[in-house]
Every structure is written in C-alpha cells, then in structure tokens.
Amino acid sequence: MLDSGDYLQGDLAGAVSNGKYLVDIMNEVEYDIVTLGNHEFDYGMDTLATRLNELNSEVTSCNFSYIGNKENKFDFIKPYIIKEYGDKKIGYIGVTTPSTLTESDPSNFLEDGQVAYTFGADTPEHFYSIVQSNIDLAKADGANYIILLSHLGSYENYSPYSSIDVLSHTSGVTAFLDGHAHADLPWTTYKNKDNVDTLLVDTGYKLNEFATLTITKEGEVKTDFIKEYEGKSAKVDAKVKEVQEKCDEVGKRVVTNIDIDLSIFDSDGIRMIRSREMPIGNLVADAYREIAEVDIGFINGGGVRANLTKGDVTYAQIRAVHPFGNLLLKKRVSGADILDYLEFATRLTQSEYKKDGKAYGENGEFSHVSGLRYTVDTSIENHVVTDASGNFIKVDGERRVKDVQVLVDGTYVAFDANKDYSVATNDFILANGGGGANMFMDDPIIPSSTMVDYEVLIKYISETLEGHLSEKYSSIEGRINII
C-alpha cells in the first residue's frame, strides 16, 4: 500500500488535527511506503517530524535533504526502500517536487534566516542525476524492478521537474506512480532516456480512485484502476467513523449563510480558479480588501480550495475553502512590485483554460483581485525569470499584463507604478514569498488585528454582506480580461 504524497493535508480532518487524524487512519489501513508531497510541510517541520514518526509506514524521498547546522529531524527518511517478494526485489524511490520550497510556506524551510532544506534542484540536470543515481544504487543493492513513487505532476506547467521530464531523462525505471497534478492517468507510457516505453500512472486526488500495479512472474507490468468496490474493513471503517465524529463536533457548527452557490469549477467539473476570474475568487479578494480597509486585496487561486453551497455554511465548509490557516496581513507596497506580482501570477495563463477535457494553463499563484482590474495578453510570450525553486527574479521582456487600473472612490483610474498602495492578503504571500511571489517580503507591515483567513471570509460574508451574495457574485465583473 503506497502513497505519492499530500496525505497529511485533507480538508477538516487534516486542518483540525494538523494531520494526526489522517495518520491514524493510514495506520489502520497499514500503508507500507509513502513519499513526501508539498503539502506534508504545511504544518511546519516540527509537526511534520512528529506525524511521520507516528506513521507506521516507511518514508522515502531521494531528493529531500537537510543542509542546516542543527538537528536533522528527518534522518529516518530513506532515499530508496527495497522490499522482497519471493525471489524478487522491488526498489521504491521517493521523489518530491522541488517546487515544495515555494508551494508550501517558504518560512518553514528556514533556520536562523537561512534555507536549511533542499530538494536537489540546483539545475534540472542536477535533479535528474539525483534520481538516476538512486536508481543505479537500488539496482546495485539487488532490486530487480524500480518503482518511482513521485510527487511531481505530469502537466506542462510542472516542467522541467515534471514526472514526464524525469522519466525522459532517466532510465531503468519499471513504473512511475505519480501525484501532485490531480491527474487521472490509468495507463500511459512515455519514452525514457533509452527510448524504452515506461509506465506512468496517476490516480487523481482525494482518494477518488486507487491504482493497482501488478508485475507478473514473466516480468509483465500491468495496472488497473479501482473506483468502486464491495465490502469494507470493519477495523478501518470504525476508525474513519471515529475521526468523522470528532470532526463533526467542530465542523457542523453553522458560521454563516449565503444565498447562492459558488464554485471553483466550471459546469463540466474543470477547475478554473487557478486560471480565470471567478465569483468565489472575487469574494475572497473583496473580503481581504474590505476587512483590512486597504486599497487592494488579492488571493492566489491555490488558496481557494473548495466550493460554497447555498444555505447554511458550516465551519467545515469554510475550512475546506481555506484549509491552511494563513493569517491576514497588510503591507504598503510599490506599484512596480504589484505589476511584477501580476505578471508572475499570470505567466502560465493561456487563451483557453481547458484542453482535452483537462484544466490548462493553471498556476496556483493566479491572482484574483479586489480594487484592481487588468488585461492579460496571452499572445505575448512569458518573460518572467525565476530561480530553480520557482522564486521570482525579474521580468525580462515585454509584459503580458496590460491596462491595469485601480479603484479610487468607486471609479477605476490608471494604475501608477511609481506610487505606493496598501494591500492585504495572506501572510503566505506577503510575508513568506509563497508560491515564489517574493517581491513583497521586505515591504513594511501595516499594523492590524490578527485574523485567520477563514475568519476574514466569515466576517465579510456574515457582517458586511449579511449573507446576500447574489447581487454581487452571481457572475464575474470583468476584473481580469484574458485575450
């Protein structure tokens, strides 16, 4: 029983227990081996170390390393694990996305202000060589087959560190069991470095399905998906119900009421929140601007995780929208930095948001805005320069973001790059450079009351709007024009 990462971060069960309830369930299921996803790090290093020590399964990640000068809390994580099955040995090699440094809270990876952890991505070639060297080491230790248990993602926007990139730059792997992209890849083969067809499997997300991998005595590799099944383990079912009861005590509490449905998906179930303006994104951005009383509010699309349903809204539903527990932060920032952020946030945006039935041009930093409106010209090539970890460096060429305007006394006027503006969003972005958006980190903080992200949303819906969302959020306003 294997997991390709992001098992500790899961809606209310994860949020109210910092992943503990999920570990309890996984131990009942008796997972054997897991790797690390980016969201394993969301609760901080001390909590992660505690959770992984509570987890009965082994943990592998060949590219996660401690480079600090203090205690290594993760010295039990192995670059690969070999299991014997009769007279055969399988080597399992964990690989964690290098974007973890920006996709989880960047401050978690610091000690005394210095980066203390690395994911081996000095360059793409360096990253591929780490994976290949562990393939070779596992084979030297007697592995007959190699399984990459990876949390990399297969979509183009994960390049050059996607599972497909790694597969095409390495050899000797029997199969990739991938995560991170929330993709549904039941049976896909790609050519490896030696032009050999290699299997890549990804089983969606939120346990909507399971993949089985079978290696026959003759060495044939087969996979299948399980979406429906009969029968349950009484032991596991009892643990799940126990956790549900604990969560229900907190989650069923009604915190507000709304008069329309708000979704992060289109009518076909394609996620739009990371590539297009959406009413729920506008709602959250407005909440930050109104509650913080600033010029501009914004929220990254990756920070809005779930739908809201008409009627009573429970604590569980609000926490599903904002599961990370980030804090409201206000800063005074330059107009030039805001333009850099918008360029960075829309660098992957395409003229179409879906392709071949899947989301296309997604970016977790895609910015929903309040007090601003702007145009993205997708005919212009992306000129944003980032480092190997995805951190913003500069814009080196023509900008895609055009016609930026700011709301002043109810009227949109030309945005001034030479002027300072007050802005509000979560501390993940403003303080910690989350997602690689590091342009605001050194800007001065405006003192304000401390509020958690979901508290900001509850206050705005219940007090400012009194639950009446339909007039303002039944459709988009045209704050983001994509051409």
Q: Are residues 80 and 175 in the same domain?
A: yes
The domain containing residue 10 runs over which residues? 2-226
Given a cut of 90, whether residue 121 has pLDDT beyond it is no
Q: Is residue 108 part of a domain?
A: yes
Query: How many domains does the chain fold into?
Result: 2
Q: Write the CATH number for 59.
A: 3.60.21.10
User: How far apart are the C-alpha atoms of 305 and 402, rounded to whole Å?
Assistant: 28
Mean pLDDT highest for which of 76-85, 232-241, 427-436? 76-85
CB neighbours of 169 closer than 8 A, spacing ≥ 6? 124, 125, 128, 132, 193
pLDDT (0 to 100) of residue 10: 66
Averaged over 31-58, what is the pLDDT?
95
Q: Reading across the β-sheet that carries 184-191, which strands appear in turn?
A: 80-85, 88-96, 145-151, 175-179, 197-203, 184-191
Q: Is residue 442 part of a domain?
A: yes
Averaged over 266-273, what is the pLDDT?
94
Q: Is residue 240 part of a domain?
A: no
For residue 244, give Cα distances in angstroms to 139, 189, 249, 290, 318: 43, 39, 9, 35, 17
Q: Is residue 190 part of a domain?
A: yes
pTM: 0.74
Q: Is residue 235 part of a domain?
A: no
> What are phi and psi for residue 107, nearest 5 degrees?
-70, -20
Give the SS3 label for residue 439: coil
H or E element in which residue 344 lies: helix 335-345
DSSP secondary structure of 14-48: HHHHTTHHHHHHHHHHT--EE---GGGGTT-HHHH
DSSP secondary structure of 243-308: HHHHHHHHHT-EEEEESS-B-SB-TTS-B-TTTS--HHHHHHHHHHHHHHT-SEEEEEGGG--S-B
Q: Are residues 268 and 383 in the same domain?
A: yes
Q: Are residues 303 and 222 in the same domain?
A: no
Given a cut of 70, whether residue 101 has pLDDT beyond it is yes
Q: Are residues 380 and 337 in the same domain?
A: yes
Q: Is residue 142 part of a domain?
A: yes
Given a cut of 90, whether residue 156 has pLDDT beyond it is no
**pLDDT tens digits for 323-348?**
888 889 999 999 999 999 999 999 99
pLDDT-derived band at 227 (thresholds 50, 70, 90) equals: confident
Q: Are residues 124 and 21 in the same domain?
A: yes
Given a cut of 70, whether residue 162 has pLDDT beyond it is yes
**pLDDT tens digits for 278-299?**
999 999 999 999 999 999 999 9
Closest CA to 74 of 96, 103, 102: 96
User: How far apart are the C-alpha atoms of 192 and 147, rounded to whole Å?
Assistant: 14
Decide which of 226, 245, 264 is a domain's last residue: 226
pLDDT (0 to 100) of residue 45: 95
Q: Are residues 448 and 354 in the same domain?
A: yes
Q: Is residue 236 part of a domain?
A: no
pLDDT (0 to 100) of residue 283: 98
**pLDDT tens digits for 46-76?**
999 999 999 999 999 999 999 999 999 999 9
Distance of CA 381 to the CA centre of its chain: 25
Q: Write the CATH number for 423.
A: 3.90.780.10
User: How far apart are the C-alpha atoms of 182 and 84, rounded to whole Å?
Assistant: 30
**pLDDT tens digits for 182-211?**
777 777 899 999 999 999 999 877 788 888
Q: Is residue 469 part of a domain?
A: yes
Q: Are residues 139 and 264 in the same domain?
A: no
CB neighbours of 86 closer than 8 A, spacing ≥ 6? none
Q: Are residues 208 and 274 in the same domain?
A: no
Q: Please give the share of the chain, as a percent, with pLDDT higher than 70.
A: 100
User: How far apart are the C-alpha atoms of 9 and 479, rounded to whole Å?
Assistant: 31
Q: Are residues 63 and 177 in the same domain?
A: yes
